[in-house]
Structure 1
Amino acid sequence: MAKSKDKTPVSITDNDPKHKAKCVEKFFKNNNVNWIKDWPSYSPDLNPIENLWSKLKSQIQFDQLKDKKELKKSIKKQSKSIQQSTCQNLINSFRDRCQSIIDSNGEKINY
């Protein structure tokens, strides 16, 4: 949760039904939280980090992991191998992603 310039908490929620529940509205009101609730629904197609996670998962799947400790070690190792250019390309593709979503009338896109 972010804070506004006057230090008042601000929450931005999408149109997910659980975010619009009466108990959520009551909580925000009782805790003096500014609530921006007319945000578009979450779209992983528009979130570059989702593609980065997918890349990371595909790299990790080839490691022979025995436990959680090895998984953490593998995540750290594979994370370091991701090139900055990969991240930049994902960010630079944002306009194309937006246009693809518009062209598909809001339907899921393959990115």
Structure 2
Amino acid sequence: SFHHMLIRQHDYSARICTQFMVAENIPVLAWPVYSPDMSPIEHVWDALDQRIRQRVPVPANIQQLRTAIEEEWTNIPQATINNLINSMRRRCVALREANGGHTRY
């Protein structure tokens, strides 16, 4: 599905990004692999997925999907991104209190 395609791309990009940061001695926050809901980008992928599924008509081929992704990515409200950024402190506190387990996020 489209969502799984985005997750695979994100996982690959995250791996490359982490390798770069480690190579450059940039501190990296340990992120439990079993708490993907804590990653703000997952919420952006979900919003993008929902916006594309609500399009009329739904994209029918790769070119239409590419166009839809570009348009809907641009149309995600900045307030949505700001809310995710501003929630990170709460998310990290909740994750610490849950000892790295599941949180409500």
Q: Shorter-normalised TM-score: what interval? A: 0.5 to 0.7
1:46 and 2:38 correspond: yes
Structure 2 segments unaligned to the other structure (5+ residues) = 1-18
Identity of aligned residues (%): 32
- Report the TM-score when normalising by structure 2: 0.64
Which structure has more relative contact order (CA 8 Å, sep 6+)? It is: 2
Q: Does the Cα contact within 8 Å between 2:32 and 2:100 map onto a contact in 1?
A: no
Matches within 5 A, 1:1-111: 1-2=19-20, 10=23, 39-42=30-33, 43-63=35-55, 64-111=58-105
Runs of 4+ in 1 over 3 A off after TM superposition: 39-43
Partner residue in 2 for 1:28? none
Output the CA distance in 2 between the equivalents of 1:110 and 1:73: 34
Counting matched residue pairs gives 83
Q: Over residues 17-63 of structure 1, what are the superposed CA-to-partner deviations in whole Å (9 max), with x where a residue is unaligned?
A: xxxxxxxxxxxxxxxxx8x9xx4433423321111111111111122
- Residue 109 of structure 1 aligns to a residue whose secondary structure is coil
- Report the TM-score when normalising by structure 1: 0.61
Superposition CA RMSD, Å: 2.8
Structure 1 segments unaligned to the other structure (5+ residues) = 4-8, 12-33
Q: Between Structure 1 and Structure 2, which shows a larger proportion of helix residues?
A: 2
